[in-house]
Chain A
Amino acid sequence: MQIPASLERLVEEFSRFPGIGRKTAQRLAFRVLSYSPDEARNFAEAIVRVKEQIRPCSSCFVFTDNDPCNICSSNSRERTQLCVVEQANNILPIEKSGIFHGLYHVLNGSISPLDGIGPEQLTVAQLKQRIQNEQIEELILATNPTVQGEATALFLQHEFENQVTRITRLARGLPAGGDLDYVDDVTLSEAFSGRQPF
C-alpha cells in the first residue's frame, strides 16, 4: 500500500530524530494518526511552543523559558562556585543528583581543531566576563573525560588560573554500587592511578 503523502511527510519528520529508524517512525506516525484533533493540536503546539519560548540563558547558556534562568536568578544557590559543562543537557544529571548548589556555565561544545572549533566558537568569552564580574572563587571543570574534553579543561585552566582561587576537575574512577568484575580496564587503571589515602 502506498502511504498517503501527508502521512509520509510525518514519517519522514519522525525518522530525522536520533535513534529513530523508518519502522519506529511509522509506528509513531500511526499513533499520531489515531489522535483526536485536540490531541494532535496540543502535540503540534508543544513543538512550536518549545521553539518560541525556550532560549539559552544569557548568562549561563542553559536552556530556559525565562531569562536569566531559574538557577542564575535563584537566591539559594552558592554563587562562588561555577561548574563548566560542554552541553546544556550535561547539567540534568548533576541537578537531579542534588549534589551541587552552585552555578553553571555551558560551553556549547569542546575544543576540536579538526572540526574547526576553537575557544572562539564556544562561550569562553562570556565565561571570562562572568569570572570578572561575579564573585566566583572555584571553577569546577566538568567537561567530558575524552581527549577533546580534557583539552578544553586544560585550556580553561591556563586561561583562568590567575583569576579564581581554585580550579578543580571532576574525579575519574569506579562507579558507585558497581561490581569490580564489570569495570572496564581503562576505568580500573584510572581508579588505581587516582587512588586516595583511606
Chain B
Amino acid sequence: MVIQSLDLRHFRNYTHLQTEFSPETNWIFGKNGQGKTNLVEAIYYICNLESFRTRKNHHLLQSGHPQALIQAELKRSDVLHQIRIQITSRGRQVRLDHSAYNKVSDYILSFLALTFTPEEVVLFRGSPQERRRFFNRMQAILEPSYFRILQDYAKALSQKNAVLKQQQREKLPLWNQMLARHASIMSEKRRSFIESLNLHLAELFQAISGRTECLQLEFQPSISIPEETEEGIFQVLESAAEKEMRAGHSLMGPHRDDFRLMLDHRPDREFFSQGEFRITNLALKMALNQLLFQSFKIYPVLIFDDLFSELDPSMKSHIMDFFSQLKNQVFITSTVPPEYVKPGNTLQISQGTTV
C-alpha cells in the first residue's frame, strides 16, 4: 500500500496542502507546533478512517471552517485508487474511486496503517486496560472472528456482574460456567496470538537495536492455571465466589488479563529504560507488520511520529538501516532534517505548509 499524493483542505492547521510522497521513506521535519503530526494524522485517517489522537470530528477541522477535505491517490497491488474523505463535525463521507463507501471493516483491511506515536510508547507502562485494548484491536484486525468472541465474552461478563450485584449466589454457578466457556476460548486465542508475535519479536529487536538480548511478549492471565480449560477456569471462578459476592462485581477473567515485555529475564515496568520502551515498542509494531503481511499480503503504511527523540545516534542509524530494508511506505516526523541516510522524500513543514 502506497499513498502517492495527498491534498488537504481545512484539515487541522492546513488551509491547503498539496504534496506527493515517495513509496519508500518520507521524512517530515520542522519545528514543534508546525503541523507534522497533523500531516501524519491525515495519512493515518486515509488508511484507518479514524484519527489516532481524537474521536471527535470537530478537532480535525480548521477553526472557523465547517468541513475538512482529505483527498489522496493510493496504489495497492499496482492499482491506483482515489480516496476522498469529507469530514464535518457531524460525520464523514468516504468516497473510494468516486463511489460512496460504507464498509469500514473491509476498507481498513485494504488500506491499513500502523502507527508509532509518543503516546503509544507508554503502552507497557500504562494501565492494563490500554494494553488489552491495543492487543484486542490488533487481534480483531488479524482475525475477524475474534471481535465476536470479545463481544460474547463481554455479554456473559455483564450478565455475571448483574448476578453479583443482585447478590444471587445460587445463580452464580451458571454464569461462572458461561464465563468459563468464553474465557477458555479467549485465553486460547490470546495465547496463540502472542505465540505468533513471539516468533518474530526476538529477531526484529536484534535487527532494530543491534543488541543481543531476547525480546519476548509474556501473557499474564488473570486466571493462571496449567490448562485453561472451561472446567479448570470454572473451578477457579467458583472458589472465588464468596470474594466476588462481597465485592459485588467480577474480579477475575480475561477482562483482567495483562501483557508484558521481557528482555531476557528483565520485565518491562521494573527494568526498562526510556529508550528500551521505545525500541521494544517499535519491535512489537514491526512484528505486527509481519503478521499482517503473512495473513493478508499487505504492507501497511508505517507512521513514526517523533520516533527518534531519546534514542542515541548508533540506535538511530540501526533503525534507519532496518527501515531501508522494509517494503512498506514509511512516514517519519522529526524536528531535525534527515541525518543518517537519504530518505526517498524530504518535506519541511512550517506553519501548516511545506517549505
B314 at the interface (CB under 8 A from A): no
Q: How far is the CA of A147 from the CA of B175 in the complex (A)?
A: 10
Q: How many A-B residue pairs have CB under 8 A?
A: 43
How far is B145's CA from A170's CA once the two chains are assembled, in angstroms? 21
Closest to B146 in A: A185
Given the contacts A113-B166, A114-B158, A148-B159, A185 and B175 also touching, CB distance less than 8 Å: no
B145 touches A185 (CB 8 A): yes
Q: Measured between C-beta atoms, what is the minimum distance from A177 to chain B in Å?
A: 23
Interface residues of B in 106-161 (CB under 8 A from A): 144-145, 148, 152, 155-156, 158-160
Segment from A8-16, A20-28, A66-74, A149-157 that makes contact with B: A149-157
Number of interface residues of B (CB under 8 A): 20
CB distance from B230 to the nearest CB of A (A): 11
Contacts of A154 in B (CB 8 A): 174, 177-178
Is the CB–CB distance between A150 and B159 below 8 Å? Answer: no
A151 touches B174 (CB 8 A): yes
Q: Decide yes or no whether B59 CB sits under 8 A from chain A.
A: no
Closest to A186 in B: B148
Q: Does A112 contact B (CB under 8 A)?
A: yes
Dominant secondary structure at the A interface: helix
* Residue from the list B144, B156, B178, B182 in contact with A185, Cβ < 8 A: B144
Task: Given A111-B174, A113-B168, answer yes or no on A151-B145 (Cβ-Cβ < 8 Å).
Answer: no
Q: How far is the CB of A80 from chain B (nearest CB, A)?
A: 27
Q: Which of A158, A185, A186, A188 contacts B174 (CB 8 A)?
A: A158
Q: Judging by beta carbons under 8 Å apart, are B163 and A113 in contact?
A: yes
In the bound complex, residues from chain B placing their C-beta under 8 Å from that of A155 are 174
Known A-B contacts A147-B178, A150-B178; the reply to A186 vs B159 at CB < 8 A is: no
A residues 169-198 touching B (CB-CB < 8 Å):
185-186, 188-189
Q: Of all chain B residues, which has the CB nearest A187? A: B145
Q: Roughly how many angstroms separate A64 CA and B145 CA in the complex, as a whole number?
A: 41
Q: Is B171 an interface residue (CB 8 A)?
A: yes
Question: Can you give 15 contacting A-B residue pairs, CB < 8 Å?
Answer: A113-B159, A113-B162, A113-B163, A113-B171, A114-B162, A118-B168, A147-B156, A151-B156, A151-B174, A151-B178, A158-B174, A186-B145, A186-B148, A188-B145, A189-B145
A residues apposed to B, CB below 8 Å: 111-114, 118, 146-148, 150-151, 154-155, 158, 185-186, 188-189
> How many angstroms between the C-alpha atoms of A107 and B121 in the bound complex?
52
What are the residues of chain A within 8 A of B177 when measuring CB–CB?
A: 154
Give Cα A112–Cα B178 distance, bound, in whole angstroms: 12
Closest to A113 in B: B162
Beyond A111-B174, A113-B171, A113-B175, whether A151 also contacts B148 by CB under 8 A is: no
Question: Roughly how many angstroms separate A111 CA and B160 CA in the complex, as a whole number?
Answer: 11
Cα separation A113 to B160 with both chains bound (whole Å): 8
> Do A151 and B171 have beta carbons less than 8 Å apart?
no
Residues of A within 8 A of B178 (CB): 147, 150-151, 154
Is the pair A112, B159 in contact by a Cβ cutoff of 8 Å? yes
User: Which single residue of chain A is at the shortest CB-CB distance from B182?
Assistant: A147
